[in-house]
Copies of this chain bind each other. A is one copy, B any other.
Amino acid sequence: MLAEQKGINEECGVFGIWGHDKAAELTYYGLHAMQHRGQDGAGVVVNNGNCLTSHKGLGLVNDVFKYAPFHELTGDAAVGHVRNATEGSNVYENVQPLLFQSQMKSMALAHNGNLMNTDRLRNELESQGSILQTSSDTEVLAHLIKRSGMEVNEQSIAAALNQTTGAYSFLIMTDDKMYAALDPSGIRPLSIGRIGDAYVVASESCAFDQIGATFEREVLPGELITISAHGMESTRFAIRGQRKMCAMEYVYLSRPDSNVNRVNVHASRKQMGKELAQESPADADIVIGVPDSSISAAIGFAEESGLPYEMGIIKNRYIGRTFIQPSQELREQGVKLKLAPVRGMVEGKRVVMIDDSIVRGTTSRRIVQMLKNAGAAEVHVRIASPPIEHPCWYGIDMSTYEELIAANHSLDEIRDTIGADSLAFLSESGLEQAIVRDKTIHQGICTACMTGEYPVVHDKEKALAYKKF
């Protein structure tokens, strides 16, 4: 099965800026703030009003930009991207933004999300004589725009987007305009900010704080924003459905200091912990969280339950991509990598261990075992989100039923598998209450991976294929 069929563009971050003479540098800082959304590749395309210039590479933002020739990356507009690659797709060619130089109008594209019907679109394009050079959804969109009318403008972009199915945020830049588009259900996040007179667009608001920009508003479902010398204009390219922001953005994807759809992520996580403490209390001595994404929920659980919050697990801050893996022999002798238990905290204690979610169950099993080895008397696992029983079609790297422990096992089986003394998940209503606290803002969230209620319907045969593999 080809990588693109599994949706290779998940969990990325996009950034755009228009009207600032330090466009490339601010893009660098903005990408840096969104590093957690993708650590496999990063890039920027800068626009000096005349031509588009690209700088990109594999690896972390800092590695890619360490020797970046900022003096050559001049221009007052730029788009940037951080990329999380799926297995086999981690090659330079796929690093975004993709830049298409042309004797007519050049364009750069950056994308977060997943187009579900790219197999069919690719076949059509190739049979019409197009040559696609990457396995990226973004390149498919570029070809669709080109086919939809030779010009790159609102009409051709809208026409191209309407041929796709999926969840996405797109940034598209030509020499005189920048476009930002969000899928009709608004599943992926995309916000607009201002810094002085300049416009900024980013997947997460933490990028605005990083560069000193202020939040303006969210891009709306099915909206196509055009930014140019004439300011910002808005059109709608699709019938706007109810906004269904991806729940996993709150559960673990976004940075705690970001506001996603105007809800602070840390606050929503803390609230998940509180709801969880009400729903599934535990008779225990201390509450601990699995760093980093579960700390907020653990603090909420502790506050609500009255149990003390302790630092029971430590995450090594210096582990990079180049960490030398211990041999199997050393691993068995107890050499640990990323996470270490704090023996002095957990020894002899009945521990509530808060985690954000369980996908395969393997990590949870390892952590429970680690805590027990460090002397924990009991380990009560509390998960701050409902069980994940369905694959995601919208850009999260969980694409098959097989890999999901909750799709194939009962609660008791999972508890036994991970070796916990007790196990409870947050309810769907608890999750919703923790996130959707103002119905005028939030029309709802996408919980397809938990409920199977997919806001965007898949091709029938494709859906079957998903089941199959």
Render A199-221 as a binary contact track against B, CB cut-off 8 A, 1 for contact. Answer: 00000001001111100000000
Question: Of all chain B residues, which has the CB nearest A255?
Answer: B314
CB closest chain-B residue, reference A323: B62
Q: Is A352 an interface residue (CB 8 A)?
A: no
A342 with B257: CB separation less than 8 A: yes
Closest B residue, CB atoms, query A299 = B309
Cα distance, A359 to B25, chains bound together (Å):
32
How far does the alpha carbon of A316 sit from the alpha carbon of B267 in the complex, in Å?
Answer: 19
- Taking a contact as CB atoms under 8 Å apart, the answer to whether A311 and B296 are in contact is yes
Tell me if B142 and A333 are in contact (CB < 8 A): no
B146 to A131, Cβ gap below 8 A? Answer: yes
The yes or no answer to A229 lying at the interface (CB within 8 A) is no
Q: In the complex the two chains form, is A35's CB within 8 Å of B102's CB?
A: no
A122 contact from B103, B196, B211, Cβ within 8 A: B103
CA distance A374 to B196 in the complex (A): 17
In the assembled complex, how far is the CB of residue A51 from the closest CB belonging to chain B, in whole angstroms? 10
| A259 to chain B: closest residue by CB | B344
Could you tell me the distance in whole angstroms from the C-beta of A335 to the nearest C-beta in chain B? 5
**Is B133's CB under 8 angstroms from A130's CB?**
no
Contact with B along A141-156 (1 / 0, CB 8 A): 0110011001000000
Whether, in the assembled complex, A195 has its beta carbon less than 8 Å from a beta carbon of chain B, the answer is yes
Kindly identify, within residues 245 to 273 of chain A, every residue whose CB is under 8 Å from any CB belonging to chain B.
255-257, 259, 264, 266-267, 270
Q: Is the CB of A318 within 8 A of B32?
A: yes
Known: A101-B132, A316-B35. A211 touches B335 (CB 8 A): yes
| Cβ-defined contact, B60 with A318, below 8 A | yes
Say yes or no: A335 contacts B210, CB within 8 Å: yes
User: What B residues does A324 contact at CB under 8 A?
Assistant: 28, 62, 65-66, 68
A window 124-146: CB within 8 A of B: 126-135, 142-143, 146
Is A464 on the interface with B (CB-CB < 8 A)? Answer: no
Residue of B nearest to A56 (CB): B92
Residues on B with C-beta less than 8 A from A195 are 333-334
- Contacting B at CB under 8 A, from A273-329, are 292, 295-296, 299, 303, 308-311, 314, 316-320, 322-324, 326-327, 329
Q: Is A26 an interface residue (CB 8 A)?
A: yes
* Complex Cα–Cα for A135 and B341 (A): 38
A331 to B196, CA, bound (A): 14
| Interface residue? A22 (CB, 8 A) | yes
Give bound CA distance, A255 to B65, whole Å: 31
Within the complex, the shortest CB–CB distance from A205 to chain B, in Å, comes to: 8
Identify 22 residue pairs between A and B in the complex whose beta-carbon atoms are under 8 Å apart, listed by A's number: A2-B103, A22-B327, A28-B324, A29-B326, A32-B319, A32-B323, A61-B318, A62-B318, A62-B323, A62-B324, A99-B133, A129-B147, A130-B130, A131-B143, A195-B334, A211-B330, A256-B314, A257-B311, A257-B343, A264-B342, A267-B344, A292-B317
Measuring CB to CB, which residues of chain A are less than 8 angstroms from any residue of chain B?
Answer: 2, 22, 25-26, 28-29, 32-33, 35-36, 39, 60-63, 65-66, 68, 92, 99-104, 119, 122-123, 126-135, 142-143, 146-147, 150, 195-196, 206, 209-213, 255-257, 259, 264, 266-267, 270, 292, 295-296, 299, 303, 308-311, 314, 316-320, 322-324, 326-327, 329-330, 333-336, 340-345, 374
Closest 4 CB pairs of A and B: A212-B334, A264-B344, A257-B342, A35-B318
